[in-house]
Amino acid sequence: MIQDPNARPLGLTIIPLVMGPMALILLVACTNVTMLLLSRAAERRGEIAIRVSLGAGRRRLLSMLATEGLVIAAAAGVVSVYLARQLPGVPWKFLLRESGYQDLAPDWKVFAYLAGVTLVAGLIAGLAPARESVKVDLLASLKGLEPTAPRSRKGSALVIAQMAMSFVLGAAGVMFMRIQRSITADDRGFEMRHVFVVPLSVSPPKYTPESAAAFYRMVRERVLEIPAVRSASYTDTPPVIEPPVEEIRVPRETQGQGQKVVVERVSTDFFSTMGIRILRGRAFRDSDAAAISTSAVAVVSRSFAASFWNEQDPRGKVVVLPDNAQLLVVGVARDVESSNFDNPNEARLYLPQSPQAFTGSLLIRFDGEAASLAPVISKTIRDLDQAQWPSARTLYSIREESAARTRPLTELILLLALVTVLLAVSGVYGTVAFSVSQRRREFGICMALGATKGRILRSVLASGIQQIALGLFAGLLLALPAAFVFWHLVRSPRVFDWITYTIAALALTLAALCAYYVPARRAMQADPIVALRYE
């Protein structure tokens, strides 16, 4: 149980991200067991035919085969119970390395769930092979002439199912990996390594609007006196924190017809401090903040301008805030990436920050080493107000901390995806190898009639490519609804990025073709003389 109430929302978010892949792994494992039992059922057709010929009923045979499957499931359940006792909460400890997640010892509910899953998995995995085993043609089975077409169709269906489920987890692994890389990317449209963020807070009754404005002004002046500091400005929301979203519209639109955009209130020198280029027009001046109640102006991002006015020059255009205040656009800034999982090209509206703001963070552009400058900045601010406990941190260090929080989840998803792919590839290999062994006479006859080894190889690979394509298509149909649900959690464009699905499809196709290639090479070794001797 998660003991920290503040961490429960995060835990509830992670639960489906962990349980979903584990459920897919369970399904892939059941599919693998089903494939193995189908292969075993094909090899036991002679035995089953003898039992039927001696008077064994089909119900008795089904009971015997179902019992064998449940024994296997029970043995696996015992092993899983031991692992659950020895390794409690491994995924959570791997993901959340905090003291509030230590009490994760399994109880009777966990073991009841485990027993139910084991029972259902054993029944599902053994049902189809058991039914296949009792469908025997006595005369053909006793002569060893049972046709293999029905088995091939079932094997193909299972291969397609495994490919589909593996594609879902493979795409999830690639997506998390790309999100992780994007979080740590350096080029986000603003400077990260040489900009400090210093949170400040002034609140009544100690501060009045006038004294708060004086304190902010004094802090900025003192910080600018430090030799290594190049510029300083204020913002209500640092770039590494998700800013608020408001409905912005043009004058001809009514409330409800506008667009949801990010709104950020900043002070003079914000764009130069952050290294955000102004593409058109100008940045804010000191006079803009002083006249905020009479002649308010705004700077918009390039995506904001494209969303509202297409290719038109936005300078001189008017936008309306939710409180019906009208703003004159005076500049267009470069797009910056959001803190929320690399949302690039996000529409942003920058407003001049009121001098009487009671909250805000100080942004400091500096030269040199951050480690030596941070204590100097903190001491400078504390000399002005002993109640302040400023912590100067670079935007890059904050971004690295965010990446560190998501890295364990990414590693776990990648590990689960790798396990699923390995299970699927091993299952595909086993199925294809068994199918090839059953068709050795067919391949031998084809070679006796003039087929080359290359043609035999191509025929096996061609059937494999068809199954792979069908599996990937089915996997895409499964992945899109899951991606839609996940998009509501992270709002990342990587969720629906075709590059993610292409990389997953290519990697899975390559692995599956390797699994097909080895049995296909074995099919080339079929002996025509042996095949004709059987005929």
pLDDT reported for residue 140: 53
Write down the domain spans for the chain.
1-146, 148-185+399-535, 195-367
For the chain, the farthest-separated pair of C-alpha atoms sits apart, in whole angstroms, at 104
Alpha-carbon distance of 475 to 170, in angstroms, equals 10
* Per-residue pLDDT at 6 exceeds 50: no
How far is C-alpha 382 from the geometric centre of its chain's CA atoms? 42
**Range with the poorest average pLDDT among 73-82, 193-202, 368-377, 502-511:** 73-82
Q: What is the pLDDT of residue 168?
A: 84
If residue 153 lies in a helix (H) or strand (E), which one and from where to where? helix 149-183
Per residue in 176-218, pLDDT (tens digit) is 787 777 766 656 778 888 899 888 877 777 788 788 888 888 8
Residue that is written with structure tokens 């910080």 in the block = 223
Which residues on neighbouring strands pair with residue 248, listed in sequence order? 259
**Burial readout 241-269 (b: 16 or more C-beta within 10 A, e: otherwise):** eebeeebbbeeeeeeeebeebbbbbbbbb
260 contact partners, CB below 8 Å, separation of at least 6:
245, 246, 247, 248
CA distance 337 to 192: 12
pLDDT digits (tens, 9 = 90+) for 59-72: 777 777 777 777 77
In angstroms, the CA 209 to CA 245 distance is: 25
Label residue 149 by pLDDT band (50, 70, 90): very low
Contact 263, 244 (CB under 8 A): yes
Q: Are strands 297-301 and 348-352 parallel, antiparallel or unpaired?
A: antiparallel
What are 76's two structure tokens? Answer: 């696996």
Answer yes or no: are the C-beta atoms of 413 and 172 closer than 8 Å.
Answer: yes
Give 3-state DSSP helix, strand, coil % of the chain, rounded to 5.
60, 10, 25
Kindly report, residue by residue over 450-465, the tens digit of the pLDDT: 777 778 778 878 888 8
With beta carbons less than 8 A apart as the criterion, state whether 471 and 162 touch: yes
* Pick from 323, 111, 360: nearest CA to 243: 360
Give the pLDDT of residue 229. Answer: 92
Coil, strand or helix: which one is 440?
helix
Give the start-end residues of each E strand in 135-250. Answer: 195-201, 229-235, 245-248
Per DSSP, the three-state class of 318 is strand
pLDDT digits (tens, 9 = 90+) for 395-447: 888 877 777 777 777 777 788 888 888 888 888 887 777 777 767 777 777 87
Q: Which of 88-97, 126-135, 153-162, 181-190 has the lowest mean pLDDT?
A: 88-97
> Which residues contact residue 286 at a Cβ distance below 8 angstroms, ignoring those fewer than 6 apart?
268
496 or 393: whose pLDDT is higher?
A: 393
Distance from C-alpha of 177 to C-alpha of 507, rounded to nearest angstrom: 14
How far is residue 476's CA from residue 170's CA, in Å, rounded to a whole number? Answer: 11
Regarding pTM above 0.95, the answer is: no
Instruction: Write down the pLDDT at residue 331.
Output: 92
3-state secondary structure of 532: helix
What's the pLDDT score for residue 100?
Answer: 44
- Cis preceding-peptide flag for 88 (omega within 30 of 0): no
Least confidently predicted of 192-206, 226-240, 319-333, 350-364: 350-364
What are the CA-CA distances from residue 460 to residues 148, 286, 440, 519, 528 (Å)? 15, 74, 12, 8, 17
Q: What is the pLDDT of residue 441?
A: 73
Q: What is the pLDDT of residue 217?
A: 86
Average pLDDT (76-80) is 74
Q: Which residues pair with 264 in a beta bridge?
A: 350
Give the separation between CA 137 and CA 135, rounded to whole angstroms.
Answer: 7
Instruction: Using DSSP bridges, classify how beta strands 278-281 and 393-394 pair: parallel, antiparallel or unpaired.
Output: unpaired
For residue 161, the one-letter residue type is: A
pLDDT at 185: 64
Maximum average pLDDT range among 81-90, 128-137, 354-363: 354-363
pLDDT tens-place string over residues 8-49? 555 555 666 666 677 777 777 777 777 777 666 666 666 666
